[in-house]
A and B are shown apart, each in its own frame.
Chain A
Amino acid sequence: MKRVLTAVLFFAALVAAWQIVYRARIWSPVLLPGPGQVARYLWDTTFAASRPGPGGAAVPNADRWQLFLAIGVTMKRLLAGYLIGLALGLPLGLLTARFRPVRDTLGILALGLQGLPSVCWVPLALLWFHQSEGAMLFVVVMGTVWSVILATETGVRNVDPIYVRAARTMGSRWLHIWVKVIMPASLPFIVGGMKQGWAFAWRSLMAAEIFVTILTGFGLGQLLHYGRELNAMDQVIGIMVVIVLIGLLTDKILFSPWEAYLHRRWGTAR
């Protein structure tokens, strides 16, 4: 309870400071809108049924639900790219850890490409896939798969060999050792890798959505992009707040239960 209170106070202070700076008119309100304007934007693009029209009369809100639709589009792309990245990265990571030739080839490739900022894939994706969902998916997968490969490899290679020896004396062999010993033993690393992969997928998708402008779905990145085009700073900041919130929420929903399990079972740090 005390921790919640601390957090609430901190963020309230942050918003208050923002409001003070806004009121001081140091920068033009076009460049720095106040918290009220950003909140207004968020309300107008979500639940507001009507908004004040010319002459003060309320008109139906054409932007209603716009933000939720954008979140939906973005999450669908993110999930698709992330799952493909995991489905490729986990087995390739196992192979990389297990076979030296794979480590000397794919392992080095993964290490190199992981260091490539995912936005660097955008020009290539645009030329190969044009302005399409495919281009977006490609960028997300490229942003995810290498870090998942590397995390899985690290996890498997960090499994204490004594576990495998103990399992062998109890009659465990090849596939059984992999499924019942090496995989669970590397779970803390793999969860860490999945978390990192998620973060990379998220960053890649934002890069892709900002640069790949298509009509098959309007995601958060595209809203951000058009916010800039229209000089609508309240939209830009509003979308950024939403992106941060989604990052925080997915961490809590997707990964906290895993980490709690690992903490309880293994005694690892939370």
Chain B
Amino acid sequence: MTLPEESIAAGSAKLAIRDVSKTFQTGRRSIRALDHVTLHVGEGEFVCLVGPSGCGKSTLLNIIAGLETPDAGTVLTEGEPIRGPGRDRMVMFQGSALFPWLDVLDNVMFGLKLKPGLTSAERKEVALYYLELVGLEGFLHANIHELSGGMKQRVALARAMAPNPRVLLMDEPFAALDALTREQLYGDLQRIWQERRKTIVFVTHNVREAACLGDRVVLFSPHPGRVREEFKVPLPRPRDINSVGLAEYSTLIMRALKGHLREPEVGE
């Protein structure tokens, strides 16, 4: 393989989220999306943020991505404060956000073309490498609207991985897929994560999905968005979403989540 070493070298970064708060104004009401949230993510760790809608988990992801700025608190990658979006943190969105005016290969090339220090031949090689990793080497010149939902998310994964970020941010990437496709992607994502060793922050409202994918599951509660509890998932990998052990463990998390939703914290 003649790929530029830097482009596929495994590498990850740790994240430190300290005392982050964020309030949105909608009309006359103000919504406290995040309230003094502190969270540490280790190098190469797979962390799932779980909670009902409105708990601020997506807001936190956008803040880590640099697409939004917190009202208070700091977010550090490798000890450096985040200033806007950066190639070291790539995002995978729920709606894939692929560009319909480009074909599959050019979508993956988009981020690579913005990465300095690569020849165009190297860029193409890197793009092909990641498209092969997600199993889409046969669809290089397909149009986006011709792909199934699962294939779109595979392209989105390849596009996010191609510039070789140190952190991968995933915002409910599988929420709109059918169960069968989703199960397949759980397997693929675990395999790719073990191969590539990225730090992954994965937002979902599906507890079972979180338990299947994450090293750690962080529970959020809404109004205001707060971290309520953390679970270190003790199950061996690769995990099967349908296994009994996983079902039992996610029941445990589910019960905790429901408990937090029922009894609001003192002082609210």
- Residues of A whose CB lies within 8 Å of any CB of B are 160, 162-163, 165-172, 176, 180-181, 184-185, 187, 264-267
Q: Are A168 and B67 in contact (CB under 8 A)?
A: yes
Residues of chain A within 8 A (CB-CB) of B11 are none
Of A171, A176, A184, A264, the contact of B163 (CB 8 Å cutoff): A171
Q: Are A265 and B115 in contact (CB under 8 A)?
A: no
Q: A-side binding surface: helix, strand, loop or mixed?
A: helix
Residues of chain A within 8 A (CB-CB) of B100 are 185, 265-267
Residues of chain B within 8 A (CB-CB) of A176 are 114
| B65 nearest in chain A by CB position | A169
Q: Are B93 and A162 in contact (CB under 8 A)?
A: yes
Contact with A along B56-94 (1 / 0, CB 8 A): 000000000111000000000000000011110111010
Question: With A171-B111, A265-B143 known to touch, is A166 a contact of B97 (CB < 8 Å)?
Answer: yes
Q: How many residues of B contact A (CB 8 A)?
A: 26
B94–chain A nearest beta-carbon distance, Å: 9
Listed by A's residue number, 14 A-B pairs whose Cβ atoms lie within 8 Å are A162-B93, A162-B95, A162-B97, A165-B97, A167-B110, A169-B90, A171-B111, A172-B114, A184-B101, A185-B101, A264-B143, A266-B101, A266-B143, A267-B146
Question: With A184-B101, A267-B146 known to touch, is A171 a contact of B86 (CB < 8 Å)?
Answer: yes
- Residues of B whose CB lies within 8 Å of any CB of A are 65-67, 84-87, 89-91, 93, 95, 97, 99-102, 110-111, 114-115, 143, 145-146, 159, 163
What 6 additional pairs, Cβ within 8 angstroms, besides A162-B95, A171-B115? A169-B66, A169-B89, A170-B163, A185-B101, A187-B101, A265-B101
Residues of chain A within 8 A (CB-CB) of B90 are 169-170
A155-B267 Cα distance, complex, nearest whole Å:
48
Q: Are A165 and B67 in contact (CB under 8 A)?
A: yes
A17-B53 Cα distance, complex, nearest whole Å:
65
Q: B-side binding surface: helix, strand, loop or mixed?
A: loop
Q: Are B114 and A170 in contact (CB under 8 A)?
A: yes
B261–chain A nearest beta-carbon distance, Å: 29
Residues of chain A within 8 A (CB-CB) of B95 are 162
Q: Are A181 and B99 in contact (CB under 8 A)?
A: yes
| A172 nearest in chain B by CB position | B114
A180-B101 Cα distance, complex, nearest whole Å:
10
B195–chain A nearest beta-carbon distance, Å: 22
Q: Are A169 and B91 in contact (CB under 8 A)?
A: yes
B96–chain A nearest beta-carbon distance, Å: 9
